[in-house]
Amino acid sequence: MNPGRCKNTANAILILADPAERFRRQKLHFPSLKKYTELYRYLVMVLGLNIPLICSILLLNMRHVDFTSLTWAYISCVFIGYYVFILLLVITLLFLFFFPFRRMVICCSGVIITIFVYYLLLDSFTYNIFKIHIDFFWIEYVFNDFSGMGLPNSTLFTMLVALFGIIALEIGIYAVAQRVKKPKYLILAFSLFVILSFGVSQVIHIVAYQRNDNRITSLTHNIPAYFPLTSNKNAVKYGGFFPIRDNNSGVRSKERRYGSLNYPLSDMKYSPLPGKKLPNIVIILLESWRFDMMNESVSPNIYALSQKSSVFLKHLSSGNQTTCGIFGLFYGLHSTYWAAVKANSTLIDNPVLIDVLKRNQYTFGVFAKSKFERHKIKDTIFRGIEVHESFSGKSTPDQDEDMTRQLISFLRGQKGNPRPFMALTFFKSSHFPYCYPKAHTVFCPAKEINLAFTNDGTVPEYYLNDYKNSIHYVDELVGEIVQYLESFQFMANTIIILTTDHGEEFNDNNTNYWGHGSNFTQYQTRVPLVIYFPDKEPRRITHATSHIDVAPTLLQDCFGCENDIQDYSNGRNLFDRQKGPRPFVIGSYFNHAFIIGDSVYEIYPLYTKKYKLGDIRLKVSRQRPDILKMILGEINCFYGDIDTSKN
């Protein structure tokens, strides 16, 4: 018998009989765990060595920040706990998927880190010149028309030099990381450090956001793609543990140096309009009211008032969700300023429209159960003004009815009051799931509203009928308000503004979009605007208008504002027809869109979605560089150094 064959047979029997021996021999055929651990430790060391570079680049965006010990601590934690954390997650996923391929993992991680660091450098350069952060839309614009940005061709050479510089630095960092001794617990210590930094930064921001401490909140706009957390509940619960003050008192002078928004650009000046008495202003908002739902069958009372009013037939909200829509209406600013206004709310105090009402001793009656305090609408628009948010009734229609009663009671109290008043009411019944009393079942509704099982082919008629019924109900409440205004003889000196925060979609393009906040087609952004002016003839306005036009129109036509509109608004007077195309900026929860004519450019950090205003399935082409340059000027004109002499 062959001796070698006998030996192999004996080894096989030994392996089968002894599990320990089988495991030992299997290990000989697989790469050791230690080898993979060393690879991951090496990648973590590379990230650690990149921290000074990343922080130095991000600090370039903080050139005009007046640092304190708190802001230093916060920014340091943000840089490490947010940006380095992102890289750590990406590199970890890369390692987990491709760890057997050492060279590929190292090369890919190097490319990712280099691109990331180079992006931060380019963004810092762009932000300090144009006050915008880089996203794919503007990258595409630069490549298509570099000269349109007003930059010399030498800038391209500078960008290339910067790229090669970053590549050289990263090669050096990888070489150093290869030679540096890596502690045994490097992975655990580094991961805990980064996670702890993230946690501390977000807790600080949560408390600062709730307390309107603009030393912290005003920094958010300075850094790219940063979406800090907010939590009213936790801020109240744990806020006492942090040295962050509450600025709701309105003390502004000492804090002005921390501001990042210059609004308005100059002092507001007014001249009394000859022969005009200050008007009362009543603003009525119907939640989620789309442009084609103001008609004789769905909203008969509003339609009747529209026959005596100015009706704007091509009107866009400033948002496809509530906060952006309300913000644009009162501030007259593009919704891209919303985050900055929240961050600087204690400095701004209120929009100039509310300021002039206060200056003229208006009496305020604000009625809305829309979480104005949690969404910072109260702090940014109605600071120092009581907002009534408590209404009796278990259902939304009952609460809307009680809100109407409270508003009418407020109006009754103004009879004989020599001071003018401003009243706001915000009806909620027309918000999903579209509530109304049975008596308002005018249109055949759906048996049950369950959008979880809809698809592109779902027929929207019955869902839309529920929505129509809710509008019909709110219209009746609006009719009661108008009736009381007439009976109190207020109509001769009262401006009535009827509009909404945004529209509402019902699978209009057969793409399974419902509600709002999901795209920027006309179904979610185009809304009714009816304004009753006692001294203006009824008319139908056919040129395109926006929510941001309402405030400057009131300031000019009612209060004799002498400032150029560009001092305090991105809008225009509603009645001034403009020549040439006009771009609109519409905000959402986390992104925004540019609407130019019938073209929509929905902006995300890594791509731009392009489609028609009337149909999301239809594509659009590139826009003219001069229009894009106009947008660029409007969305950054209120950023800059604060004029401390104002206070």
For the chain, the structural domain boundaries read 1-30, 40-241, 289-446+458-580
Q: What is the pLDDT of residue 271?
A: 92
Long-range contacts of 361-364 (CB under 8 A, 24+ apart): 361/419, 361/420, 362/278, 362/281, 362/419, 362/420, 362/421, 362/422, 363/414, 363/417, 363/419, 363/420, 363/421, 363/422, 364/421, 364/422, 364/423
The answer to whether 349 and 268 have CB atoms below 8 angstroms apart is: no
What is the C-alpha separation between 410 and 407, in angstroms, rounded? Answer: 5
> What is the CB neighbour count within 10 angstroms for residue 358?
15
Q: What is the pLDDT of residue 229?
A: 85
Torsion of CA 433, 434, 437, 440, to 10 degrees: -150
Q: What is the pLDDT of residue 554?
A: 98
What is the C-alpha separation between 74 and 586, in angstroms, rounded? Answer: 31
CATH superfamily for 289-446+458-580 is Alkaline Phosphatase, subunit A (3.40.720.10)
Assigned token pair, 537: 């003839």
Please state whether beta strands 539-541 and 310-312 pair in parallel, antiparallel, or not at all (unpaired).
Answer: parallel
Q: What is the pLDDT of residue 579?
A: 77
> What is the CB neighbour count within 10 angstroms for residue 516?
26
Q: What is the pLDDT of residue 634?
A: 93
Please state whether beta strands 494-499 and 280-286 pair in parallel, antiparallel, or not at all (unpaired).
Answer: parallel
Q: Residue type at 182? A: K
Q: What is the pLDDT of residue 642?
A: 47
Q: What residues have CB less than 8 Å from 27, skipping those under 6 apart?
A: none
Q: What is the pLDDT of residue 366?
A: 97
Q: What is the CA 280 to chain-centroid distance, rounded?
A: 32
DSSP designation for 184:
T
For Cα atoms 348, 350, 354, give the angle at the middle one, nearest 5 degrees: 145
List the one residue out of 260, 249, 163, 272 whose CA is nearest residue 215. Answer: 260
- How high is the mean pLDDT in each 10-residue block of the chain (647 residues)? 51 51 48 80 95 95 84 94 95 92 93 95 84 77 62 78 95 94 91 95 89 83 86 58 52 48 93 89 98 97 97 98 97 94 86 96 94 88 94 95 97 94 97 94 85 85 94 98 95 97 96 95 98 95 97 97 96 89 93 94 88 95 83 88 44
What is the C-alpha separation between 258 and 537, in angstroms, rounded? Answer: 47
Backbone angles phi, psi at 366, to 5 degrees: -110, 120
Beta strands in 376-473 (DSSP E): 387-388, 421-427
Write down the pTM of the prediction: 0.84
What is the C-alpha separation between 345 and 354, in angstroms, rounded? Answer: 14
